[in-house]
Amino acid sequence: MNRAERKRLAQDLARYAGEASTRRQFIRLARQGAVRSIFTRQEVNKAVIKQLLNAVSSGLTLAGSGAFGVLRKVSVHVVEEK
């Protein structure tokens, strides 16, 4: 990710968390030090790896429960955001 994408990610996360609903609020909070204005590449990489490991472990848990547990049917829904 380049710098602009990492900055946009920080803004989106602040908006998602409800801390800054507008860009002006985000800039004010970033100047006060209440929210991060940008993430480092290492932080982004660690977070992505953590999310991938979480997804894999959830999938393995679901598969194990389906094969040997009480789970009988699995329904998968794929949603695309635009």
Q: What's the number of domains the chain is made of?
A: 1
- The percent of residues above 90 in pLDDT, for the chain, comes to 30
Using a cut of 0.85, tell me whether the model's pTM lies above it: no
Question: Of all helices (H) and strands (E), which one includes residue 16?
Answer: helix 3-16
Residue 52 lies in a domain: yes
Residue 72 lies in a domain: no
More confident residue, 72 or 63: 63
Torsional class of 7: left (φ above 0), alpha (ψ -120 to 50), beta (otherwise) = alpha
Residue 74 lies in a domain: no
In this prediction, residues 39-59 reach a mean pLDDT of 92
User: What is the domain range of residue 54?
Assistant: 3-66
Residue 9 lies in a domain: yes
pLDDT at 52: 93
Tell whether the model's pLDDT for residue 61 goes beyond 80.
yes
Tell whether the model's pLDDT for residue 71 goes beyond 90.
no
